[in-house]
Amino acid sequence: MIRLALRVAREDAEIALAQLLELAPSGVEEVDAGDWVEYAVYGSPGELPDLPDLRAAVGGALVEVTTSELPDDWSERWKDFHKPLVLGDRLAVRPPWEPSQGTAIELVIDPAQAFGTGSHATTRLCLELLLELADSSPERGPAVDVGCGSGVLAIAAAKLGWEPVVAVDYDQLSVDATIENAAVNDVTLDVRRGDLRSETMPAAPTVLANLLRPLLLEYAADLPEPPRRLIASGLLVHEGDEIAAAFAPHGLRERARVERGEWCALLLAAD
């Protein structure tokens, strides 16, 4: 088994991913490291996309290409990288092979297709703010998860009482994973494929947007019906002020900010 990885400039990551998925429709692994994002595909030498095609797909965004051979027992060892995410006694996100964490709310997320189980700092920060919002908002109502990935945030919102919950992602694999994970967790979601760069996203009083800075800026620029509450993540610490300012013209003001390492997330709310 070979792991073929391409590192691309962070600001071009979403565009590069869209191009790569044309060559690797079975999905890619994503590793976000601040200034760059690494996308990796796995397979035997004859199954992997050709290097010239990959280089052409990402163009000027390319930083580095690496290949590595995986050990024979990789199919089991990869599970070691997916550990439960536990937020006190309130909420946990775990892969199906890990035991129950004994929390009030538990999400079981299968990291198939390399989506992970929500342990990335940006997802954790979103969940922290979602719990804070649940404590301060006795009336839930509809919610939208823009860029849902494997559906962690949408499923958590549904478990916390938001209804109905719409989950949207550009990647069909994300759409499929969210549908499957919703069924496993016994929640009902309206899961859709959509591209915020060319389509207007569904409106709701509560919006969850764990996206990179460029996509958050595009979302802010085309927001015909602003939400009452918006959780924005996928941000480096120094990008928080810019994103807060981008949503301010829509009447959304910063109510809370949480940080973990180099990452931050914002809770924005209407006056």
Q: Are residues 15 and 148 in the same domain?
A: no
| Residue 174, token pair as written in the block | 């994300």
Q: Are residues 43 and 171 in the same domain?
A: no
Contacts of 221 (CB under 8 A, 6+ apart): 246
Q: Are residues 148 and 215 in the same domain?
A: yes
Q: Are residues 217 and 151 in the same domain?
A: yes
Higher pLDDT, 173 or 189: 189
Q: Are residues 127 and 180 in the same domain?
A: yes
> What does the alpha-carbon distance between residue 194 and residue 19 come to, in Å, rounded to a whole number?
16
Of 61, 76, 91, at which residue does a domain stop?
76
Mean pLDDT score of the chain, rounded to an integer?
A: 84
The pLDDT score that the predictor gives to residue 45 is 65
Here the CATH number for the domain that contains residue 169 is 3.40.50.150
Query: What's the whole-number mean pLDDT along residues 156-185?
Result: 93
What is the number of structural domains in the chain?
2
For residue 28, pLDDT beyond 80? no
Here the CATH number for the domain that contains residue 22 is 3.30.70.260
For residue 69, pLDDT beyond 60? yes
Q: What single-letter DSSP state applies at residue 147?
A: S
pTM, 2 dp: 0.76
Among candidates 146, 151, 144, which has minimal Cα distance to 14? 146
Q: Are residues 143 and 18 in the same domain?
A: no
Q: Are residues 155 and 239 in the same domain?
A: yes
Of 42, 76, 110, at which residue does a domain stop?
76
Q: Are residues 38 and 145 in the same domain?
A: no
Contacts of 244 (CB under 8 A, 6+ apart): 253, 254, 266, 268
Domain that holds residue 150: 82-270
Q: Are residues 36 and 170 in the same domain?
A: no
Number of neighbours of residue 81 by Cβ within 10 angstroms = 11
Q: Are residues 62 and 112 in the same domain?
A: no
Of 72-86, 121-135, 215-229, least confident by mean pLDDT is 72-86
> What does the alpha-carbon distance between residue 77 and residue 80 come to, in Å, rounded to a whole number?
6
Q: Are residues 124 and 218 in the same domain?
A: yes
For residue 125, pLDDT beyond 70? yes
Of 40-54, 169-183, 201-215, least confident by mean pLDDT is 40-54
Of 51, 76, 101, at which residue does a domain stop?
76
